[in-house]
Amino acid sequence: MRNKYYLPLIHKGSHSIYPFYRIGGFGLGNMLFPFFRAICYGIRDGASVLYPLFNQIQPRNFLREKNMSSLRNYNIIFSKFTWTTLPLIQSAKIYYCNCWTDEKDLLNKKNIFFIGCKNYFFDLIEFRDFIRYFVNYSLQEQPKNFHNNVAFHIRLGDFLLSNNQIPRDKILKTIEFFLKKKSYKINIYSDFDLSKLIDYLGLSSLPLDVRLIKNSSPMLDIIDMSNHKIIVGNPRSTFVEWARFLSPVGLNQKSYSLISETAYKKNKISPLLWNNFL
């Protein structure tokens, strides 16, 4: 029987050369969906997974934010995931010597490319335990104990452009809620640096017991957030949803949504329900 191949094309951009690079593309949260669909379905269907097209440059973000992280290049992260895919050059030969079709033909075609978010976490929920193991094994991360800490995700960046950001008053009131009524320490995870975050919040400095965490990669931010007993964020963000999805078995993480329950239900991307709506 002829081999079956699955390709995490991630994002089928018009300016790309597989498997080397593409111009533009997704943030990390969105990139993980097609990658893990290819991996999980590949295991299920006995398919070989080709090297993912993860090397990207995002010039629009760089021109706006003028820092290297705004390029949204996640090579270091995905290089740790490719132990389970075919090598780059072998993948290129297979790709250019075969015809490919979309996931809609998954049941009756051999060579399938995976792009986009599709049904988000609804496609992956049955593989949740495996994906947890895969991420922790690939990154060699040991679970951390964030006792009495709140993971607070504040996404700005492109949310400012789309007008989907959380109002600063809502953020400040939520911080106050946990500091005064719950006596927690708050770890903020954000796509903005400290000075831009403080400026957005209209503060001179972050309050006592509130700190901005900056790990060496956004994937480590996701893992950190997943290990908090309490997580606060915007359910529209796939980044914070990945942290909830990867939370360890037995942690029983509690989540607090920064948008209303009505707004949440209109944009539901995960079968994992949010516990509270602030």
Q: Which pLDDT score, from 0 to 100, does residue 75 have?
A: 92
Q: Are residues 158 and 258 in the same domain?
A: yes
Q: Are residues 73 and 194 in the same domain?
A: no
Buried b / exposed e along 103-142 (16+ C-beta atoms within 10 A): beeeeeebbbbbbbbeebbebbeebbeebbebbbebeeee
Averaged pLDDT, 228-237: 94
Q: Are residues 160 and 63 in the same domain?
A: no
Q: Are residues 202 and 266 in the same domain?
A: yes
Q: Are residues 80 and 149 in the same domain?
A: no
Averaged pLDDT, 66-87: 82
Q: Are residues 151 and 109 in the same domain?
A: no
Residue 96 lies in a domain: yes
Give the percent of the chain with pLDDT over 70.
91
Residue 131 lies in a domain: no
Residue 137 lies in a domain: no
On the question of pLDDT at 64 being above 60, the answer is no
Q: Are residues 147 and 104 in the same domain?
A: no
Structure tokens at 221: 């931010």
From 10-24, 215-229, 244-258, the region with the lowest mean pLDDT: 10-24
On the question of pLDDT at 47 being above 60, the answer is yes
State CA 68 to chain mean position distance: 18
Averaged pLDDT, 194-207: 93
Q: Are residues 111 and 216 in the same domain?
A: no
Identify the domain containing residue 186 by its residue range. 143-277
Q: Are residues 147 and 267 in the same domain?
A: yes
User: Considering 83, 118, 153, which residue would you say is the last residue of a domain?
Assistant: 118
Q: Are residues 103 and 150 in the same domain?
A: no
pLDDT tens digit sequence for 107-156: 899 999 999 999 999 999 999 999 999 999 999 877 778 888 999 999 87
Q: Which pLDDT score, from 0 to 100, does residue 71 have?
A: 56
Q: Are residues 89 and 162 in the same domain?
A: no
Residues 220, 141: contact at Cβ < 8 Å? Answer: yes
Average pLDDT value for the chain: 89
Residue 136 lies in a domain: no
Residue 130 lies in a domain: no
- Output the domain CATH number for residue 205: 3.40.50.11350
**pLDDT-derived band of residue 1, with 50, 70 and 90 as boundaries?**
very low
Q: How many domains does the chain have?
A: 2
Averaged pLDDT, 71-94: 92
Q: Are residues 109 and 147 in the same domain?
A: no
Residues 149, 228: contact at Cβ < 8 Å? Answer: yes
From 151-160, 172-181, 193-202, the region with the lowest mean pLDDT: 151-160
> Structure pTM?
0.92
